[in-house]
Structure 1
Amino acid sequence: MRNKSFFTSVLIAAALTLTGCATPQRHVSLSESTLPSKTQRVGVAMTPLPKVDMQLPGANCLLCIAAATLANSSLIDYTRTLPHEDLPKLKDSLAELLRKKGFNVIVISEDLDISKLPDYSGKGIDIAEKDFSPLKQKYGIDKVILIQITDLGMLRPYSTYFPTSEPKAILKGVGSMVTLNNNAYEWYMPVDLAKGSEGPWDESPNFPGLSNAYFQVLEMGKDAFLKPFNN
């Protein structure tokens, strides 16, 4: 029994090693002590916006995906026509908010593709995996505030062939601030918003209930990214 228990422990440890034990970045609240000083220069940037699309998580086999896609084809086609509205201007809104508070701000006009940044060699709590330090010299900034919107559109969860709920409008992303001297997160805030139709959702071809939910989620998302700097 002892040997069996020992080998079981070894197998569990090996499985954990093979599957990895990466820990998601924790939430880091913004505080007065981590805000830029009046002598520091802060950059405000956004990553490329995702395409507006529909997700069908849980339809996890080829036939399941085909069936779910066919069942939701009208909504998928419509979702892909929805605009980003003024999401691209979110970094300008945030920069203006900071300037009104007296901060020295530069808006980074181009989209920041963080996947192209080198990996950071240092490790530790609240240390970014990507190396943001090249931005210090490139833009003449001491800190960077980054808005990442990763998912936008509609989501309907499935269990193989069967939907488990009605579709919802979604917006997901992360707001963060990295100090470029040590690559540390001084603010890290995941955003995960979803809203369903307030009336019938399946009103093809324009889906007014879900359309309203989508535009409400856009407003909720913008408010979520701005609120920490509006206090």
Structure 2
Amino acid sequence: MKTLLRLSFAAIFAALVGCATPQVPVPLDQTFYTADKKTVGLMLEAPEKPGLALEGNIGLLDYAIIAAATNTLTSHIEGQDLGEFLAVAEELSHSLESEGFQVVRLEAPEKAPKLAKFKDPDSKDTTYFAAKDHRALADQYKVDYLLKLTATSAGLARPYYGFIPTDAPRAIFNVHGEMIDMSSNQLLWYSNISHSAYASGEWDEGPSYPGLTNTYYVVMNKAKQDVLNALAKRDGGAEVLALKAGEVDEETESPEAESQQQ
């Protein structure tokens, strides 16, 4: 839970600090597959377990009331796994190795390294660079490219006004991904993949919550498939799929209001 909160706060902080223009999505530069440099460092980061994210205008006392009311649901979702997302590392490694790359699995550092800011040499063109200068890490990691995938949120989310729920819980799975050329600091790929869906039918079927549980695994699988698709090699001039930042996949409608509150 602490890891999930740390990732969530980090994402919010990164979005709010300063007045810099948010990085737009960058579809994978297909020259990546034809370059001579072939070593990819794959870094995967995920929370220790899924969780229940609370949204809306909530006071400190409200959190205590909500925690007591949602104890069963929270315990259930925290007992689920992230295996579908974690499997993306093995699938990506196999795919890249089949294209002649050497893949090196890298452990995500507990504390982010202090990197200097990187200034885009021409901010008016469509070549984008990582905000921090990763070139200094090339010798440390011994890689030509750094592919970072972070599950920024996983589990369930529910909005509240005070301690009163204003909608049914929904399953969520969000992934931030980027591919950095370690020699130039160029972003070869950048995307924020976001999936969210309500359970079909009744959701409040504790203690196993089959509808919500199944929907959670569905959205996690979709996030994984989006990652694989975005990083796939495009043959024959096929159009590259650009994933829109903040795209949300709402598959099922919200239940009727009278069945939404606990």
Alpha-carbon deviations, 1:165-202, whole Å to 9, x = none? Answer: 11111111211100111222111010111121112100
Taking structure 2 as the reference length, what is the TM-score of the superposition? 0.73
Q: CA deviation at 1:114?
A: 7.8
In structure 2, relative to structure 1, the CA distance for the partners of 1:115 and 1:182 (3 Å cut) is farther
Alpha-carbon deviations, 1:67-110, whole Å to 9, x = none? Answer: 3222222111111111122432321211111222x2322131x4
In structure 2, relative to structure 1, the CA distance for the partners of 1:190 and 1:58 (3 Å cut) is same
Task: Give, in whole Å, the separation in 1 of the partners of 2:60 and 2:110.
Answer: 32
- Counterpart position of 1:30: 28
Letter in 2 for 1:56: L
Q: 2:204 aligns with which of 198, 202, 205?
A: 202
What is the correspondence of 1:35-54 to structure 2 with a 5 Å cutoff? Answer: 35=33, 37-54=35-52
- Counterpart position of 1:117: 113
In structure 2, relative to structure 1, the CA distance for the partners of 1:53 and 1:218 (3 Å cut) is same
- Counterpart position of 1:107: 104
Contact 2:84–2:224 (8 Å) recurs in 1: no
Q: CA deviation at 1:54?
A: 0.5
What is the correspondence of 1:66-215 to structure 2 with a 5 Å cutoff? Answer: 66-100=64-98, 102-108=99-105, 110-113=106-109, 115-124=111-120, 125=123, 126-215=128-217
Q: CA deviation at 1:226?
A: 0.4
Task: Give, in whole Å, the separation in 2 of the partners of 1:66 and 1:36.
Answer: 55
- Residue 130 of structure 2: SS of its match in structure 1? coil
- Residue 183 of structure 1: SS of its match in structure 2? coil
The structure whose Rg is larger is: 1
Contact 1:59–1:68 (8 Å) recurs in 2: no
- Counterpart position of 1:5: none
- Residue 25 of structure 1: SS of its match in structure 2? coil
In structure 2, relative to structure 1, the CA distance for the partners of 1:134 and 1:47 (3 Å cut) is farther
Q: CA deviation at 1:32?
A: 1.5
Task: Give, in whole Å, the separation in 1 of the partners of 2:228 and 2:191.
Answer: 11
- Residue 83 of structure 2: SS of its match in structure 1? coil
- Residue 115 of structure 2: SS of its match in structure 1? coil
- Counterpart position of 1:7: none
Q: CA deviation at 1:130?
A: 3.4
Task: Give, in whole Å, the separation in 1 of the partners of 2:110 and 2:229.
Answer: 24
Question: Equivalent pairs: percent with the same residue?
Answer: 27
Task: Give, in whole Å, the separation in 2 of the partners of 1:151 and 1:111.
Answer: 19
Flag structure 2 segments of 5+ consecutive residues without an equivalent. Answer: 1-16, 235-262
- Counterpart position of 2:259: none
- The number of aligned residues is 211
Task: Give, in whole Å, the separation in 1 of the partners of 2:210 and 2:83.
Answer: 17
- Residue 58 of structure 1: SS of its match in structure 2? strand
Q: CA deviation at 1:127?
A: 2.7
